[in-house]
Structure 1
Amino acid sequence: MNEPASREEKLELAVELLAHLEHEELALSDAIDRIETVTTSPSLTREILDAAEKRGVIERENARLRVRRGGTYVNYESQVVRREGEFECRRCGTTITTGHFVKLDAGELGPFGSSCIRKVTGRDAGGDDAET
């Protein structure tokens, strides 16, 4: 994937990613881990969290987030695309030969390895990729 070109595109992609998490509640650190697949800018991360809260996507309380998504989550059959090639996982940096990309209305995010795609979408509580 090409990086989203603008700050606004990154914001929209990250807010949409938060709206599509598998679990309704997660630690702020886990949310930031997901946001960092879009940006590592601390100011943009704060802007993303603020925008998600203002839009009713999340509620923040202490160091936890509650996702108010109304039952939407990433559908692996229609929203996750696998591509073969030489990739570097966007989350953990591992070299991978199968890249998983998440298709969202705001754009495409990836590539991710098989473990990291589950982490980014909230389907898995842990695990960095160790695959090639």
Structure 2
Amino acid sequence: MNEPASREERLELGVELLAHLEREELSLPAAIDRIETVTTSPALTRDILDAAEKRGVIEREDARLRVRRGGTYVNYDSQVVQREGEFECRRCGTSITTGHFVTLDAGELGPFGSSCVRKVTGRDDDAE
């Protein structure tokens, strides 16, 4: 996997990840859980949320986010790639032998285990 090299690339990847969530609304902690797969920097996390709001990707109210997207869910057939190898899940840190990578226009995010990739994209509700 190629790590996003610059702050700007990580910002773009974070905004795009939020734009592709399958949930229309989620708590701020759930959104941060997903953003932490891109960065653990509190300053960059704030910048991602601010940029997403300015671009009309999300609306923030209190500790909730509403995703404003036009059907841009992650397509698991074409945007989630599986690779075999020795990986550590980017979300939970578990050792995995099958890595799931999410391919977005801004870059690739992963590896994730099979359940974590579903949580990161919002397909499973557990990250709420």
Partner letter of residue 79 of structure 2?
Answer: Q
Partner letter of residue 63 of structure 2?
Answer: A
Which residue of the partner structure matches residue 78 of structure 2?
78
For residue 44 of structure 1, give the secondary structure of its aligned residue in structure 2.
Answer: helix
Instruction: Calculate the aligned-residue CA RMSD, in Å.
Output: 0.8
Structure 1's consecutive aligned runs of 4 or more residues displaced over 6 angstroms after TM superposition are: none
Which residue of the partner structure matches residue 20 of structure 1?
20
**Identity of counterpart residues, as a percentage?**
87
Which residue of the partner structure matches residue 130 of structure 1?
none
TM-score (norm 2): 0.97
Which residue of the partner structure matches residue 49 of structure 1?
49
CA distance in 1, matches of 2:63, 2:77: 32
CA distance in 2, matches of 1:125, 1:25: 11
Q: Say if 2:30 is the partner of 1:30.
A: yes
Q: Identify the structure with bigger relative contact order (alpha carbons < 8 Å, sequence gap 6+).
A: 2
Partner letter of residue 113 of structure 2?
Answer: G
Partner letter of residue 58 of structure 1?
Answer: I
Q: How does 1:1-132 map to 2 (within 5 A)?
A: 1-126=1-126
**Deviation digits for residues 12-70 of structure 1 (CA, Å, limit 9, x no counterpart):** 00000000000110001000000000000000000000000000000000000000011
TM-score (norm 1): 0.94
Using the TM superposition, give the Cα deviation of residue 71 of structure 1 relative to its aligned residue in structure 2, in angstroms.
1.3
Where does the alignment leave 5 or more consecutive residues of structure 2 unmatched? none
Where does the alignment leave 5 or more consecutive residues of structure 1 unmatched? 128-132
Partner letter of residue 105 of structure 1?
Answer: D
Using the TM superposition, give the Cα deviation of residue 2 of structure 1 relative to its aligned residue in structure 2, in angstroms.
2.6
